Amino acid sequence: MSGVLLAGVTKRFGDALIVDRLSLDIAAGEFVVFLGPSGCGKSTLLRMIAGLESVDEGEILIDGRRVDHLPPGARGVAMVFQHYALYPHMTIRKNLSFGLRNMGVPADEIDRRIDAATKSLEIEALLDRRPGQLSGGQRQRAAIARAIVKQPALFLFDEPLSNLDAALRGRTRIELAQLHQQLRTTMIFVTHDQVEAMTLADRIVVINDRRIEQIGTPMEIYRRPATQFVASFVGTPKINLLPVTVDRSGAAAQVRLGDGTVLETAVSSVSLPGEADMTLGLRPERIRIAPLERGDTRGEARVVERLGERTLVHVRLADGAMLVAEDRGDSDVQAGQAVGLAMEGACAHLFARDGTAYHGVSA
């Protein structure tokens, strides 16, 4: 197995800076997800690792060997693309064997690898069909099998699930997780879908505007986001963000919302910058619908989303601010109804003007 080291990697297209002095150390056997919005540089970074884009500055090492000067075929990587990239005139068997034959792998070894890969992905019955005769999910599994038979040191996935429908995307996501458990090979996966990142990754690398915002396990990213961008990008529904005035007179900061509500947080007052105005972040599951007389504040339910196991209630506060709260699955809340809101201030995040996050012990 191979680890990957990126040291000060930079990429420009003309005058446009796409990746800016990015450094990252990926351990052998890790499943790492590059997560970020479109245009942030994550796919370009993956293509540089694969050798499909040149590196303007910095170094890329795989298994301790510098590879940024090597052609793609000499790097020991296999890449799975968003659009499958299968040869349409060849059967799946020929698609899988083509690269191995060019590498001089013996015929019996090719058969053994194809048999093992297609059985693990349950597509052995499709080997004599052409890509045009397969569904999108079958084609994507064939593309993954083609990568597996190369027995690479490193797998690279460039948004491989984005062309699949929701049900198939969920099933293929599970198959990829099982594949990693089976092979234990280093995998790097690019996506803008935070659900894919949260469910697949050992570690997530959140990339924004050409640089890394945060690196951490899925729950580290979710519970203790480093910046307001990370907090907003990860989590469904999105975190609630409300402007607040901060009182640092106590050991833990108190905040005053726009509707006058005062909330005790668990954020250390001495850790905060000297800004009077900050942004409060609370996940929807940390704001519960409560009886009017027992809530920390109240508002008007504007939209009610009934999701079965839980209900999401979009609430407008007295100052016009909107937030999303949770209620039980069999909630009887109706749009237009006045509701109380119980807020878990100990789980609140505070964000400074520059986006830096501050957390309490319970966040």
Q: Which residue has the tokens 């170094």?
A: 59
- The pLDDT assigned to 235 comes to 92
- The pLDDT assigned to 356 comes to 96
- The pLDDT assigned to 1 comes to 54
- The pLDDT assigned to 96 comes to 93
Helix, coil or strand: residue 92: helix
For strand 4-13 and strand 16-26, is the pairing parallel, antiparallel, or unpaired? antiparallel
Burial class of residue 201 in the structure, from the number of CB atoms within 10 Å of its CB (0-12 exposed, 13-18 middle, 19+ buried): buried
Which tens digits make up the pLDDT trace of 65-85?
999 999 998 898 998 887 778
Residue ranges of domains in the chain, CATH in brackets: 4-230 (3.40.50.300), 240-359 (2.40.50.140)
- The pLDDT assigned to 138 comes to 87
Mean pLDDT of 37-54: 93
Which tens digits make up the pLDDT trace of 136-184?
888 888 988 898 898 888 999 998 888 777 777 888 888 888 889 888 8
- The pLDDT assigned to 266 comes to 95
What is the chain's length?
363
Order the strands of the 4-13 sheet from edge to edge.
16-26, 4-13, 57-62, 65-66
Which tens digits make up the pLDDT trace of 252-302?
999 999 999 999 999 999 999 988 999 999 999 999 999 998 899 999 999
Confidence of residue 343 (pLDDT cuts 50, 70, 90): very high
Which tens digits make up the pLDDT trace of 116-139?
888 878 888 999 999 999 988 888
CB-facing half-sphere around the CA of 213: CA atoms within 13 A: 28
Q: Helix H segments across 251-362?
A: none
For the stretch 211-217, contacts whose Cβ atoms lie closer than 8 Å and that sit 24 or more positions apart, written own/partner, are 211/20, 211/22, 212/22, 212/24, 213/36, 215/24
User: pTM score, two decimals?
Assistant: 0.90
- How high is the mean pLDDT of the chain? 92
Token pair recorded at residue 183: 């092979």
Which of 337, 336, 328 has the alpha carbon at shortest distance from 306?
Answer: 328
Q: How far apart are CA 351 and CA 167, in angstroms?
A: 36
Choice between 84 and 358, residue whose per-residue pLDDT is larger: 358
Which residues touch 289 (CB under 8 Å, ≥6 apart)?
311, 313, 325, 326, 327, 331, 333, 339, 340, 341, 342
